[in-house]
Homo-oligomer: A and B are copies of this chain.
């Protein structure tokens, strides 16, 4: 059974415009067409879209996704290259998660700072921090006048 571009757009949380754009960019060379040129999406295409979506959501640009699709179209002889591509992508996602966790610490410090300042006053917040020394100096106070420092 076939689906229209709108049905697929709906299922994938995209617009039909976006799907046509992806097609134009060479991301969807596998979709069939009717005699009159209308795209006939099938169940299997949802798998393709899921992988494209995975790569896109983990930060791969459209052009690189196209390269991957091109590899797929070349057949089994590109397995090694594709494996490598996913190994690289895995590393990138791991790095992204690491970075996000790092920033999460900063955000947690800010939350702690503001909560302390709100409940006990600014002085307590400025004195109390034992964690996150790198951003210890309240930059509340510093909205204009500090002495401290250092960050990479």
Q: Which residues of chain B come closer than 8 Å to A117, judged between CB atoms?
A: 76, 79
Q: Return chain B residues, CB-CB under 8 Å to A31.
A: 146, 149
Number of copies of this chain in the oligomer?
2
Cβ of A97 under 8 Å from chain B:
yes
Instruction: Decide if A140 is an interface residue (CB 8 Å cutoff).
Output: yes
Interface size on A, residues (CB 8 A): 67
Given A101-B97, A111-B87, A142-B44, A151 contacting B118 (CB threshold 8 A): no
Interface residues of A (CB under 8 A from B): 23-24, 26, 29-33, 37, 43-44, 46-48, 50-51, 54, 57-58, 72-76, 79-80, 82-83, 86-87, 89-90, 93-94, 96-97, 99-101, 103-104, 106-108, 110-111, 114-115, 117-118, 122, 134-135, 137, 139-140, 142-152
